[in-house]
Structure 1
Amino acid sequence: MDEHGERQFAEYFAAKRDSVRRTAYLLCGDWHRADDLAQTAFVALHRRWHKIRDRDATDAYLRKTLIRASIDESRRPWRREQQTERLPEPEPTGVRLDEQVATRADLMAGLREVPPKQRAVLVLRYFEGLDVAGVAKVLGCSEGNVKSQTARGLAHLRTALGEEVETHG
């Protein structure tokens, strides 16, 4: 890759690394694994950077690579072990700290109970804000599959949380 391409990639990486890392964390529930997943996605993007003609499609390619890496990683036998996690430091908001931590901890614990593909659909729909068509495109499946995976994922999450899960969108 030429110097101009390297500079463009470095700028893109700097702009996107934190959001990709957060998305990876939502997918796997572990900051160290999230770093690995984000790195895998960015390395794959770097390999193809010179072939990308439509720079508007770069986010979609990166997101798809991240989701696939997460699903592939979850299929490895050693990933079926139970892990305990430490929560990241929450950002200050108007919500009481103990309520915010409890909500985040409950959600992350619930997401870990959802199967990987369903978790990917939920993260893309409700945390990344993609519509059904966008999720279908990222995952390379039909919109009907996205809808059924969303319904099943929400059912798993409701069971894991032991309460009704609100979905806006």
Structure 2
Amino acid sequence: MKPSDPEFQEFAEAANLPLLRTARLLTGDWHLGQDLLQVTLTKVYLRWSQADRWDSPTGYARTVMVNTYCTWHRRRWRHELPRERLPDRAGERDTADTVATTDALARALADLPRRQRAAVVLRYYDDLSVEQAARALQCPPGTVMSLTFRALARLRQSADLHDTAVEGR
């Protein structure tokens, strides 16, 4: 029995938010993350007739996403993003430290090579096992461990993260 378009729509709706979060972390930008998700879902849809051969449609989509991300040669927009409405004031509680930490982490992740960044996002954000991340990255588990080790070493050396940690004390 082959999957149908309604089944794809159901899959896309269920997997949308988790895949979007992963895409956002991979790209470091919400809008590029949305673009990456759309490209991923398009590629998955084009192969949807083969979905009965996949262990997991979400796992397959994650693999497509990581491969697409690692091969993207697209310029990143590094300027202001227009907003529909400007906020009048900050929220009730001061979130400056949280925003600073999130921003520092995003900058540090952006400095990692793409495969290292993908390994960190899959292992620590998506909470995948080494084997699951290896399937998504299409490499041996030892390579995932090596990529993750190197990425974490670089993150530990990141001046952005170090400065944020010192300021937060």
TM normalised by structure 1 equals 0.80
Are residues 1:138 and 2:133 paired?
no
Amino acid at match of 1:162: H
Alignment of 1:84-103 (within 5 A): 96-103=94-101
CA contact (8 A) 2:26 2:69 kept: yes
Are residues 1:156 and 2:154 paired?
yes
- Number of the residue aligned with 1:53: 52
Give the distance between the partners of 2:130 and 2:58, measured in 1 at CA: 17
Deviation at 1:135, TM superposition (A): 0.9
| Percent of aligned pairs sharing the same letter | 33
TM normalised by structure 2 equals 0.80
Give the distance between the partners of 2:39 and 2:59, measured in 1 at CA: 15
Q: How many residues align?
A: 154
Amino acid at match of 1:83: R
Deviation at 1:129, TM superposition (A): 0.4
**Contiguous gaps of at least 5 residues in structure 2:** 82-92
Alignment CA distance shift 1:68-1:55 (3 Å): closer
Deviation at 1:83, TM superposition (A): 2.7
CA contact (8 A) 1:29 1:85 kept: no
Give the distance between the partners of 2:142 and 2:55, measured in 1 at CA: 26
Are residues 1:116 and 2:111 paired?
no
Deviation at 1:103, TM superposition (A): 1.6
**Contiguous gaps of at least 5 residues in structure 1:** 87-94
Deviation at 1:23, TM superposition (A): 0.6
Give the distance between the partners of 1:55 and 1:85, measured in 2 at CA: 41
- Number of the residue aligned with 1:27: 26
RMSD of equivalent CA atoms: 2.8
- Number of the residue aligned with 1:12: 11
Indicate the SS of the match to 1:130. Answer: coil
- Number of the residue aligned with 1:89: none
Q: Is the radius of gyration larger for structure 1 or structure 2?
A: 2
Deviation at 1:99, TM superposition (A): 2.1
Structure 1 segments, 4+ long, off by >6 Å, are none
Amino acid at match of 2:39: T
Alignment CA distance shift 1:50-1:82 (3 Å): closer
